[in-house]
């Protein structure tokens, strides 16, 4: 694949976290520019860092670029991924010192790794997304995509949920909530709740209870093509969370429908990328 147009997105409001972030962003832009590639700066990144000498582009208009480079972390990658998933434009993630699950190129190795990718030496990694819809009184009141997970969670007390898979009852459970995670999301909240790690190549999702009242309620992995429906039986208050970034309040009348999205996110990794090595580094495995 030839890269003639590249959009660059920087993590917003990052100056307090990393006072050197602006310098890193400019170094990335200058490196891409030096390779005689047309550079576009995502409009909010351009405004915050005053990069007015380059053309700007809205994330929603990135369908005409060949590659999106994200300088930030996994959280930034999640937000960008949901937005561009229908465009078919690949992403590369550059982190700032902490090895990421998605943003796996370190800033120090940026020039070397990006040079290799721009020369066509890369691994293509396609990640599934989930689609979620909330129905209330037979009306659609909310819908979204998730790259990591959909979480249905109580406020202060237990929530009782009825879960069905392919219109067949899985179980009723009383718990703090439930996580439905893509393979990408199984290394996030679902992992801390005791769920399994699913390799990204698997066409599966994990359903993971959060602190279930009955200890026999265990995580389960199912085929991603099987739709999931959740009915709220009892709760005081609750909400639905998308990738830990979007929060939507739920009502007792709500029914939640989750299924595999037809969209996917393509991430480009360096040629020597290894998923298992990433797990060892990130999770401190021996």
- Choice among 33, 74, 201, 254 that is catalytic: 74
Contacts of 133 (CB under 8 A, 6+ apart): 140, 142, 143, 256, 257
Distance CA 13, CA 127 (A): 27
In the residue annotation, 74 being an active-site residue is answered as yes
Sequence length of the chain is: 286
3-class secondary structure for 3-46?
Answer: CCEEEEEECCCCCCCCCCHHHHHHHHHHHHHHCCCEEEEEHHHH
- What are the structure tokens assigned to 207, written together? 């359903």
Distance CA 188, CA 193 (A): 9
Which residues are catalytic, by number?
74
């Amino acid at each position: 694949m030839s890269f003639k147009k590249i959009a660059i997105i920087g993590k917003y409001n990052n100056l307090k976290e990393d006072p050197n972030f602006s310098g890193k962003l400019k170094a990335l832009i200058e490196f891409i520019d030096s390779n005689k590639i047309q550079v576009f700066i995502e409009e909010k990144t351009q405004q915050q860092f005053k990069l007015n000498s380059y053309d700007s582009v809205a994330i929603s208009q990135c369908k005409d670029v060949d590659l999106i480079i994200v300088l930030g972390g996994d959280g930034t990658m999640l937000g960008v991924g949901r937005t561009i998933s229908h465009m078919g434009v690949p992403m590369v993630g550059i982190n700032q010192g902490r090895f990421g699950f998605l943003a796996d190129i370190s800033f120090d190795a940026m020039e070397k790794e990006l040079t290799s990718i721009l020369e066509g030496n890369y691994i293509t990694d396609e990640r599934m997304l989930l689609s979620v819809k909330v129905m209330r009184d037979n009306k659609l009141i909310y819908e979204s995509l998730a790259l990591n997970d959909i979480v249905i969670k109580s406020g202060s007390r237990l929530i009782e949920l009825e879960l069905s898979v392919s219109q067949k009852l899985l179980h009723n459970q009383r718990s703090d909530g439930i996580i439905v995670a893509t393979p990408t999301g199984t290394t996030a909240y679902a992992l801390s709740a005791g769920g399994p790690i699913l390799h990204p190549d698997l066409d599966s999702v994990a359903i993971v209870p959060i602190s279930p009242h009955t200890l026999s309620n265990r995580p389960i992995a199912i085929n991603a093509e099987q739709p999931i429906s959740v009915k709220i039986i009892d709760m005081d208050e609750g909400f639905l969370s998308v990738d830990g970034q979007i929060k939507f309040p739920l009502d007792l009348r709500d029914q939640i429908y989750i299924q595999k999205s037809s969209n996917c996110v393509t991430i480009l990794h360096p040629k020597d990328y290894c998923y298992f090595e990433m797990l060892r580094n990130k999770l401190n495995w021996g």
